[in-house]
Amino acid sequence: MLRLSAFRTGPARLALALSTASLLASLPARAEPPKPAMPPETAAPGPQSAPSVGVDTLKPGKPAAKPYLSEAAAPDTVKILSPPPASHSPLENADRAAFNTTRGLKGSPRWDLAASDVAEGASAILDTYACVLGTKIDAARVPAVINLFERARLDIARGTKAPKLHYRRLRPFVGNDAPICVQRTQQLTDSFSYPSGHATQGWSYALMMAALVPEKTSAILARGRVYGESRIVCGVHWLTDVAAGRTNGAAIFAALMGSADFRADMDKARAELAKALDGKGPAPAEAICTRENDVLAAPALQF
- Angstrom distance (rounded) from CA 132 to CA 270: 16
- Angstrom distance (rounded) from CA 210 to CA 191: 29
Using alpha carbons, select from 284, 152, 296 the residue that is nearest to residue 230.
296
- Angstrom distance (rounded) from CA 223 to CA 221: 5
Task: Supply the residues annotated as catalytic.
Answer: 198, 231, 237, 241
CA atoms in the 13 A half-sphere facing the CB of 301: 26
CA dihedral 245, 251, 252, 253 (to 10 degrees): 110
Are the CB atoms for 85 and 91 separated by under 8 Å? yes
